[in-house]
Chain A
Amino acid sequence: MNDLSNATPELAAEHGLTAEEFARAVEILGRTPNLTELGIFSVMWSEHCSYKSSKKWLRTLPTEAPWVICGPGENAGVIDIGEGLAAIFKMESHNHPSYIEPFQGAATGVGGILRDVFTMGARPVANLNALRFGAPDHPKTRHLVSGVVAGIGGYGNCIGVPTVGGECTFHNSYDGNILVNAMTVGIAPTDRIFYAEAAGVGNPVIYVGSKTGRDGIHGATMASAEFDDQSEEKRPTVQVGDPFTEKLLLEACLELMATDAIVAIQDMGAAGLTSSSFEMASRGGMGIDLDLDHVPMRETGMSAYELMLSESQERMLIVLKAGREDDARAIFEKWELDFAVIGRLTESGRMVLKMGGETVADLPVAPLADSAPEYDRPHRPSPAQPQIAATDVAPSVGVKEALVTLIGSPDLCSKRWIWEQYDHMVMADTVVRPGGDAAIVRIHDSNRALAVTTDCTPRYVAADPVEGGKQAVAECWRNLTATGAKPKAITDCLNFGSPEREDVMGQFVGAVSGIGEAARALEFPIVSGNVSFYNETNGKAVQPTPAIGGVGLIEDLSRLARIGIDQPGLTLLLIGKTEGQLGASIYLREIAGREDGAPPPVDLATERQVGDFVRDLIETGKVRICHDVSDGGIAVAVAEMILAGSVGVTMSVPETADHGWWFGEDQARYIVAVDNKTAMKIEADAKSGGIATMQIGVSGGKALNLGPEGELPVNTLRDAAEGWLPAYMDA
């Protein structure tokens, strides 16, 4: 068997191609592909690269708004943030590699998403991540948390981009398949945005960055299959990251981008040289000739197949204007990076690969791209769940005890142990650090800022994919709003089980429809994203987890809100209506031991009305302390506000307040802390707009006084919130 041997149907199956897909490949070529060509077909048509099961549904998502400069399809999404600047961002999964080799899997996930953003001309200004681990008592969980966190920190800290936010939750559905989603946000001048569309016959194709080794071969194929007990044997497919080289690559690329030498640029991510060269040629309708002998190699004896499929990190492919090679070479040599002219653009419409003087692959670009398989897979809607009210759940413990349990539970406890391992301040623009509703990063040398967050409540999506999809978008929008930011656009990372199963495909279809509905209603378009299917082990799928990463804009840094209550005598005002929805709530799971029921419904018109009202209060300087109400309801929200500011609160609650009132997760609610006069004014304004409000407490003292339910010293709350994760990790 060598690179030029003819492929067989069995070999195609080993590469993850179905019999029909292999037949189509033969038809396109007019002959049987050789091994190298089969490798290229297999990665280009993998679920990871081709979106063959999801494309039909992704097309339904809203992707446009007047401020969107570039929607999905490029390396990352681009929005206009005014004053000649654009925000460029995307979120991507690195789930399977992170389960197999947590440190390198997570690290290279960060490295990959950073490249997606700076390849478009942006300097990265913030990293975020959304992490889902298995049950804390699963034997692998502690090791995975430790490795993933060290890997994310190891990469982001070294390259010098602050990791400012994210989320981390635990559930046994992730026992055999954790989720590691990484997001990067960058800023570029609007007139210096770079795309991956090849143009200009004869223009040179340049390889820069690290050398190519045998690591990561078939990573994209691995990401497109479910796991089983043998999955750990796939460790050699996990790449190894080198963040310092990426730092050099970032600076060298930005330096070259300041010239006008670049025609197109794309990072070598999943499927490495294959997808970067193929996609650039395909987008520009060009042919491309590559001489693989010129590819910088880390080891001798590498085959064409290995060179094309390697996922070695920290590499970029650039189409330069002819004649600018020496200018570019000087920059990359200054930064001590490899630089090689490896090919030219042609008008043949074909990708022709040569090695050792022989043609090792010859593929038509457009037919291969255009005939990528697309499936309308059978899907079955999830069965509807009943609404659950407080009267359906007998409270086994009092409010005080339940609150201490919840605030110290794995999902709601402080994640300080994690984010203190991330440099969240490097570059000195982090205005609001991790731990609030959204992180706030100043736009350098200005009085404006971006607010950034990632959100998803998988238990809601599991219970009702449509409502759960809506809620993920709404919560992201609300978290940005609660800081005073104007939500601008989102990126999504859709993590699901196998699309070949009707129930999972039904979850996907439902969630996408919910996400689309919410994004339309909130004018919060999806500008980039990633689909990760096959998140299951031995036939057990993860909870459907469509993580939503949001970016908002703060026009005046003197008008923003934080969550901490930092002075006594303030009135706590709840804005939004409370019904006491306990279905699929964290209270139901952690206190009652049940995971059933319908999630709280999301009324998007109300969501928007209440959010716009609250944002206006912050923008006009009336409110500087605000927190949204989400997991764990009012009780947990107030506790978090106390912990962030260290001043206690005496609650004044309705006589009818039951555990549904305290812990229900009704949507579209915020708590603000303001002086009493302002509170009365806000209440009057809200009333005239038809928005429900209620005074629920007054700040002061060193305790959370729950009225008839008793009192909790702030230190008791703090010990509960801060205690769990360090104790768990040190056990």
Chain B
Amino acid sequence: MGSQPAMVWHRDTALPNVDLIAVPGGFSYGDYLRSGAMAAHSPIMREVVRSAERGVAVLGICNGFQILTEAGLLPGVLMRNKNLRFVCRDVFLRVENADTVFSNRYSAGQVIRIPVAHHDGNYFIDEEGRAQLEGEGRVAFRYCDTAGAADDRSNPNGSLSNIAGILDPTRRILGMMPHPERLSDPTLGGDDGRALFDSMISALS
């Protein structure tokens, strides 16, 4: 997409000069203790937190979202899915906030199709925290049906208020359980995820 990513090792203690830090999905440390709990204490995470405080944009997808909550960059927790099973399937998301560096190529209320693949995606936060997220427009994406209705049937993991992705108060940090990178290529069955990357490139580079 015209931007060169640089990989860093978890034991590194310095980051190259970048416009965006992406913490991808996966199973850091096997998720044996609690998803993301160990990785949040990796040496490089101290530098990620420092960079985020300086305003560098941070994107956490799936395990990356879990790591960002464990590292304290985003509020709330990701609990085991309500039905206790891993779930891998396409879901529909309603774009709740299209005015961020991550979502400016979407429109507010747009319904997009993106896959999820996780065991621990059940987002929870206390009532005060939820009210704050909602009130400040920090819910980025919500699980919904094809028509955009966020109901129980379209919620794949039991997340509170169908929350699929959230922003920090500066809106420079996004954590989301769904995987936009997995539907960014028509050969794989769709490219609704592509606009997220286009958004970041246009806003950050």
Contact B87 A431 (CB under 8 A): no
Contact B182 A244 (CB under 8 A): no
Q: How far is the CA of A160 from the CA of B29 in the complex (A)?
A: 13
Is A442 on the interface with B (CB-CB < 8 A)? Answer: yes
Residues of A within 8 A of B89 (CB): 420
Is A275 on the interface with B (CB-CB < 8 A)? Answer: no
How extensive is the interface on chain A, given as a class? Answer: 20 to 34
Q: Return the contact of B185 from the options A157, A158, A428 (Cβ within 8 A).
A: A428
Is A421 on the interface with B (CB-CB < 8 A)? Answer: yes
Chain B contact residues, majority secondary structure: mixed
Q: Return the contact of B27 from the options A150, A247, A419 (Cβ within 8 A).
A: A247
Min CB distance, B87 to chain A, in Å?
6
Contact A425 B88 (CB under 8 A): yes
Given A431-B187, A431-B188, A442-B187, A425:B182 Cβ within 8 A: yes
Residues of A within 8 A of B189 (CB): 431, 433
Contact A557 B117 (CB under 8 A): no
Q: In chain A, what residue has the closest Cβ to B179?
A: A425
Write the A221-263 contact mask toward B (1 if CB under 8 angstroms, else 0): 0000000000000000000001111010000000000000000
Contact B30 A158 (CB under 8 A): yes
B contacts with A, residue count (CB < 8 A):
22
Given A420-B88, A420-B89, A425:B26 Cβ within 8 A: no
Min CB distance, B7 to chain A, in Å?
12
Write the B168-205 contact mask toward A (1 if CB under 8 angstroms, else 0): 00000000000101100101110000000000000000
Q: How far is the CA of A425 from the CA of B25 in the complex (A)?
A: 12
Contact B86 A243 (CB under 8 A): no
Contact B117 A157 (CB under 8 A): yes
**Interface contact tally, CB-CB below 8 A:** 61
Is A153 on the interface with B (CB-CB < 8 A)? Answer: yes
Is B115 on the interface with A (CB-CB < 8 A)? Answer: yes
Given A247-B27, A430-B188, A421:B32 Cβ within 8 A: no
Of the listed residues B88, B89, B115, B188, the one surrounded by the most CB atoms of chain A closer than 10 A to its CB is B88
Q: Return the contact of A243 from the options B25, B27, B117 (Cβ within 8 A).
A: B27
Min CB distance, B136 to chain A, in Å?
33
Is A4 on the interface with B (CB-CB < 8 A)? Answer: no
Is B46 on the interface with A (CB-CB < 8 A)? Answer: no
Q: How far is the CA of A158 from the CA of B32 in the complex (A)?
A: 10
- The chain B residues found within 8 Å of chain A, CB to CB, are 25-27, 29-32, 85-89, 115, 117, 119, 179, 181-182, 185, 187-189
A-B contact sample (12 more), CB < 8 A, given A150-B86, A157-B86, A244-B27: A157-B88, A157-B117, A421-B85, A422-B86, A423-B86, A423-B117, A424-B88, A425-B117, A426-B25, A428-B182, A431-B187, A431-B188
Q: Which 10 A-B pairs have the closest CB atoms?
A: A244-B30, A158-B27, A423-B117, A421-B86, A423-B88, A153-B86, A420-B89, A428-B182, A425-B182, A421-B85
- The chain A residues found within 8 Å of chain B, CB to CB, are 150, 153-154, 157-160, 242-245, 247, 419-426, 428-431, 433, 442, 557
| 30 intermolecular pairs with C-beta atoms under 8 Å apart | A150-B86, A154-B86, A157-B27, A157-B88, A157-B119, A158-B27, A160-B27, A242-B30, A243-B27, A244-B27, A244-B31, A245-B30, A247-B27, A420-B87, A420-B88, A420-B89, A421-B85, A422-B88, A423-B88, A424-B88, A425-B117, A425-B182, A425-B188, A426-B117, A428-B181, A428-B185, A429-B188, A431-B187, A431-B188, A433-B189
